[in-house]
A and B are shown apart, each in its own frame.
Chain A
Amino acid sequence: MSMTGTLRLKAVCRDEKTVVADTYFDGAFKVARPVYFQENEPTVYSLHVGGGYVGGDRYHTDVVLEENARLTLTTQSAAKVYKTPDEPVYQSMNIQLAKNSVFLYMPDPLIAYEQARFQQETVIRMEKGATLLYSDSMTPGWSKSGRPFRYEWIRSRVKIYEDGVLQAYDHLFLKPDAGDLLSLMQMEGCTHVGSLFIVSPLLQAGWKEEVGDLFQSYSEQARIGFSELKNGGCTIRILANASHVIEEIVLQCTNWMRGKLNQEAVALRKY
Chain B
Amino acid sequence: MINPMLSFMQLCDSNFPSGAFSHSFGLETYIYEGSIYDAGTFEAAMRMYMSNQMAYTDALACRLAYEAIEQEQFGRVIELDILLLALSLPKETREGTRRIGERMAKLCMDLYDSPLIRQYYEAIRRKEVSGHPSIVFALAAHHLQADKTEAIAAHLFSGVHSLIQNAVRAIPLGQTDGQRILLSLQPLIQEIADRAEQMAEDELGMSMPGLEVAQMRHEQLPVRLFMS
Which A residues form the contact surface with B (CB < 8 A)?
159, 166-174, 179, 183-188, 193, 212, 223-230, 235, 237, 239
Residues 79-97 (chain B) with a chain A CB within 8 angstroms:
82-83, 85-87, 89-92, 94
* Residues of A contacting B203 in the complex (Cβ-Cβ under 8 angstroms): 173
* Residues of B contacting A159 in the complex (Cβ-Cβ under 8 angstroms): 86
How many angstroms between the C-alpha atoms of A184 and B207 in the bound complex? Answer: 13
A-B contact pairs, 17 of them (CB 8 A): A166-B86, A169-B83, A169-B205, A171-B204, A171-B206, A172-B207, A173-B207, A184-B35, A185-B49, A185-B210, A185-B211, A187-B210, A224-B213, A225-B212, A227-B90, A227-B215, A237-B213
Residues 95-134 (chain B) with a chain A CB within 8 angstroms:
none
Size bracket of the B interface: 35 or more
Inter-chain contact B48/A184, CB cutoff 8 Å: yes
**Residue B219 CB within 8 A of the other chain:** yes
* Residues of A contacting B188 in the complex (Cβ-Cβ under 8 angstroms): none
How many angstroms between the C-alpha atoms of A212 and B217 in the bound complex? Answer: 11
One digit per residue, 1 when the CB lies within 8 angstroms of any chain A CB and 0 when it does not, for chain B 194-228 equals: 00000000011111111111111101100000000
Q: How far is the CB of B53 from chain A (nearest CB, A)?
A: 8
How many angstroms between the C-alpha atoms of A239 and B83 in the bound complex? Answer: 25
**Residue B5 CB within 8 A of the other chain:** no
Inter-chain contact B86/A186, CB cutoff 8 Å: no
The one of A170, A225, A229, A230 in contact with B213, judged by C-beta atoms closer than 8 angstroms, is A225
A-B contact count (CB 8 A): 93
Which B residues form the contact surface with A (CB < 8 A)?
30, 35-36, 44-45, 48-49, 51-53, 82-83, 85-87, 89-92, 94, 203-217, 219-220
* Residues of B contacting A184 in the complex (Cβ-Cβ under 8 angstroms): 30, 35-36, 44-45, 48, 210
Inter-chain contact A166/B82, CB cutoff 8 Å: yes
A182's nearest neighbour on chain B, judged by CB, is B210
Q: How far is the CB of A162 from chain B (nearest CB, A)?
A: 11
* Residues of A contacting B208 in the complex (Cβ-Cβ under 8 angstroms): 185-186
How many angstroms between the C-alpha atoms of A185 and B55 in the bound complex? Answer: 14
Given contacts A184-B44, A225-B216, contact A171 B210 (CB under 8 A): no
B82's nearest neighbour on chain A, judged by CB, is A166
Inter-chain contact B213/A223, CB cutoff 8 Å: yes
Inter-chain contact B48/A169, CB cutoff 8 Å: no
Q: How far is the CB of B68 from chain A (nearest CB, A)?
A: 18
How many angstroms between the C-alpha atoms of A38 and B226 in the bound complex? Answer: 47
* Residues of A contacting B52 in the complex (Cβ-Cβ under 8 angstroms): 179, 185-186
* Residues of B contacting A229 in the complex (Cβ-Cβ under 8 angstroms): 89, 91
How many angstroms between the C-alpha atoms of A187 and B45 in the bound complex? Answer: 13
Inter-chain contact A185/B83, CB cutoff 8 Å: no
Q: A169-B87, A227-B91, A237-B213 are in contact. List 20 more A-B contacts (CB 8 A).
A: A166-B82, A168-B86, A171-B87, A179-B48, A184-B36, A185-B53, A186-B52, A186-B210, A186-B211, A223-B210, A223-B213, A225-B213, A225-B214, A225-B215, A227-B89, A227-B215, A229-B91, A235-B90, A237-B209, A237-B216
Inter-chain contact B48/A185, CB cutoff 8 Å: yes
How many angstroms between the C-alpha atoms of A259 and B92 in the bound complex? Answer: 29
Given contacts A185-B214, A188-B210, A237-B216, contact A225 B90 (CB under 8 A): yes
* Residues of B contacting A193 in the complex (Cβ-Cβ under 8 angstroms): 209
* Residues of A contacting B30 in the complex (Cβ-Cβ under 8 angstroms): 184
* Residues of B contacting A173 in the complex (Cβ-Cβ under 8 angstroms): 203, 206-207
